[in-house]
Chain A
Amino acid sequence: MKTISCPWLSPTVGCCLAFGWLAGWSVSAQNFVRNPDFEDPLGPDNWTIVYTAVNGGGANAPTNCGPFDFLVAGRTTMAHKDMVPGTWDGDPYYWSKFGGHFAPNHSWLMHAYFKQVVRGLKPGSNYVCSAWMAQYTRNDNYLTKAEVYMETLGGPGRAVVRRTPNVYGNVNNDPAAWQRYVVTNTASENGEIEIRLHYNKNGSVAETWEYRNQNAYYDHVAVVPEGQSDDMPPYYITAFVRTNQEILLAWETVMNNKYRIQVSRDLADPNGWSWVRWSPYLDTNIHAPGTNYLFRTNLLSLFAYDPTFDPNAPLFFRIYAERYVP
C-alpha cells in the first residue's frame, strides 16, 4: 500500500484523505496496445478496420472488399472473452465486456482486418505479441472457410512479418476453445510494431443465410516486452481537490491497468473500506488509457445510492490497482 500526505480541506466539510493501494502484485508486463480489450470505441488512435483483397479463393477472389461485405466489423459483447472462459465477468470485475468481431454479410468471399500500429516501443527490442482468438459457428464445416489469424509487422521498416497459425477453435458451447496465440517480433527503428487481426473468408457457403453463423472473435490483445516480469510500479495520487461537493482525484497509472476507488469514513477501521459504486448498474472499474488518470465528480451524485451518506463527515479515499492480464 502506498500512502500520501493528507490534503486538508475546509474544516467545515471534513477531511478527505487519499491513498494508493497496489494489488495483483504478481507476474505481469506493461501492455503497449491501445484499447486492447475493445472496451472503447474503435478509432484512429487505436484500432482501425482495413478492407483488403481476399487471399486464396480462386481466380475471382475479391480484390477490394468493403463495409457492406461484413455484417459485423467492430466490437461486440458477443465477441468478449471472459477472464475465465465460461465464467461471466460479473460484478465486481465486470469491466471488460467487448471483443473484436468480424462476421460476413453474405455467402461470398471477403477479407478485412483490425489494424493498430503499436508505438512507444524500444527500437530493436523483442516484444511478445499475443491475442485471444476464436471462431463461433454452429457448423464445424465452416471453420475452414475463413482464415482467422494475427499478423505482426516489425523489424526494420516493419518488414519482418510474424503470424500465428489459423484459428480453428469453435467457442459455440465450448468456451474452452478460446486460445491465446503468441508470436514474438522486434520493434522497428521507430519503436513500432503493427498488429493485424485478420478475417479472410476465402470459401463460400451454399446455404443463403448461413453466413450469419460464421464469426471470428478477438480479445485481450497485448504487446509486452520480452522477458518483462512485472509492471506494477508504486504509484502516487498526484492531485486531490475538494470544492464544496465537487472532488477531483488524479493518480499515476500504467496504461491498460485497472483501477477502482474505495472509500471509508473511519481511517481507524480496517474493515471500513467499501467500493465506490455510483450506481449499482454502472461499472466501477476504471481502465487507464495512459500514464495519468483524472477523476472528477460530485459527492452527492457519487453517493446517491447511499442514504446514510453525510456530506459533512470526513471521507477517506484510496485507489486500488490491478495489473493487466494478457
Chain B
Amino acid sequence: MKTTVPPFLGKLGWCLALVAAALPLAPETARSQELLKNPDFESPFPVSDPTAGWALVYADGGPSDFAIAGQSTEASRCCGGRGAHLRPNNWNFAHAYFRQVVTNLVPGARYTLTIQKMRAGFQNYVDNDSLRVYMAALSGSSSNVVAGNATNNGPYSLTITCAPSGQIEVRLHMWKRSMTNESSEDMKHAKCSAWFDDISLTQTP
C-alpha cells in the first residue's frame, strides 16, 4: 500500500503533531512501534536475509512453479501501491511463503500481528481445503495461525508470546494442496492467488 502526507500539514504542523504525540505517550511508543520491516510491501523484496525484510521460501515447488512470487499491483489493498503476491503457475501442488524474522524482542511479552489485507483468489478451493492462504507467527515452540478467504480482505489478527530467544518469525503462506482439473477456458490455478498487504507486528499493551 502507498500512503501520502496530508497536504494540509506543513512542516510546522508536523512538528507540533509529533511533539504533542511524543510527550504524553513516550512509555507507550516502544510498545506500539512497528517491528516489521517493509510492512506495506512497497520496498523491493524478496531479500535473502529474513531479518532484513521479506524472504521467500518455496515449500513445495520452485520458482517456475509460481507465476508471481513478489510484488504486484493487484495485491495492493488500496491507494495505488503494491502488495505481496503468490500465485501458482500450473495445475500441480504449490506451496510458498514470505518469511520475516523479528529479533531483539522481549521474552515473555505478548505481541499482536495484524494484517489489513489477506485474501485468497478462489473461494471454491478455500471451501474444499484445496487452497490455504494464511498468516502464521512462530516463536520458540509456540505458534499461532489465522487464515483468509476470497470473500473479504480482513483485517485479521493473532497474538503470540515471545520465546526466550527474543525472536518471532512471521510467515505469509499460499498453499495449493491439490492438483486442479482445468482447461484453457478455466485455468483454476490462475485463480489461486494469495494477496497480502499492510501487516503490523507490535507489542501488545
Residues of A that sit less than 8 Å from B by CB: 53-54, 59-69, 71, 105-110, 208-209, 212
- Are A62 and B68 touching (Cβ within 8 A)? no
Known A62-B82, A64-B42: A108·B73 in contact at CB below 8 Å: yes
CA A59 to CA B79, docked complex, whole Å: 7
List the B side residues contacting A208 at CB < 8 Å.
Answer: 121-122, 187, 190-191
A66 with B74: in contact, given A106-B193, A208-B121 (CB under 8 Å)?
Answer: no
Q: Mark B34-57, 1 if CB is under 8 A from A, else 0.
A: 000000001000000000000000
Given A62-B80, A64-B42, A208-B190; A71-B67 close (CB under 8 Å): yes
Which residues of B lie under 8 Å from residue A53 when comparing CB positions?
A: 80
How far, in angstroms, from A105 to B71 measured CA to CA in the complex? 12
* Residues B47-98 near A (CB distance < 8 A): 67-74, 76, 78-82, 85, 87
Least distance between B14 CB and chain A CB atoms (Å): 22
Residues from chain B with a CB closer than 8 A to the CB of A63 are: 2, 80-81
Q: Are A66 and B72 in contact (CB under 8 A)?
A: yes
Least Cβ distance of B85 to chain A in Å?
6
- B41 CB to closest chain A CB (Å) equals 11
Interface pair B79/A68, CB less than 8 Å apart: no
Instruction: Give the contacts of B119-140 with A (CB-CB under 8 A).
Output: 121-122
Give the B interface residue count (CB, 8 A): 25
Let me know if B82 and A64 touch, CB within 8 A: yes
B192 CB, nearest partner CB in chain A, Å: 10
- Contact yes or no, A68 B69, CB < 8 A: yes
A residues less than 8 Å from B2 (CB atoms): 63-64
> Contact residues of B with A, CB < 8 Å?
2, 42, 67-74, 76, 78-82, 85, 87, 121-122, 186-187, 190-191, 193
**B80 contacts A66, CB within 8 Å?**
no
CB-nearest residue of chain B to A62: B73
**Residue A105 contacts which of B68, B80, B82 (CB distance < 8 angstroms)?**
B68
Query: Which partner residue on chain A sits nearest B87 by CB separation?
Result: A106
Closest approach, in angstroms, between the C-beta of B144 and any C-beta of chain A? 29
Task: Assess whether B191 is in contact with A65, with CB atoms less than 8 Å apart.
Answer: no
A108 touches B80 (CB 8 A): no
A-B CB proximity, top 5 nearest:
A62-B73, A108-B74, A209-B190, A106-B74, A63-B80
Does B72 lie within 8 Å of A105, measured CB to CB?
A: yes
Instruction: Tell whether, in the assembled complex, residue A60 and residue B79 are in contact, meaning their CB atoms are under 8 Å apart.
Output: yes
22 contacting pairs across A/B (C-beta < 8 A): A61-B80, A62-B76, A63-B2, A64-B2, A64-B80, A64-B81, A66-B71, A66-B73, A67-B70, A68-B71, A68-B72, A69-B72, A69-B73, A105-B72, A106-B68, A106-B74, A106-B85, A106-B87, A108-B73, A110-B73, A208-B122, A209-B190
Tell me the complex Cα distance, A208–B192, Å.
10
Q: Could you say which residues of chain A place their CB within 8 Å of the CB of B193?
A: 106
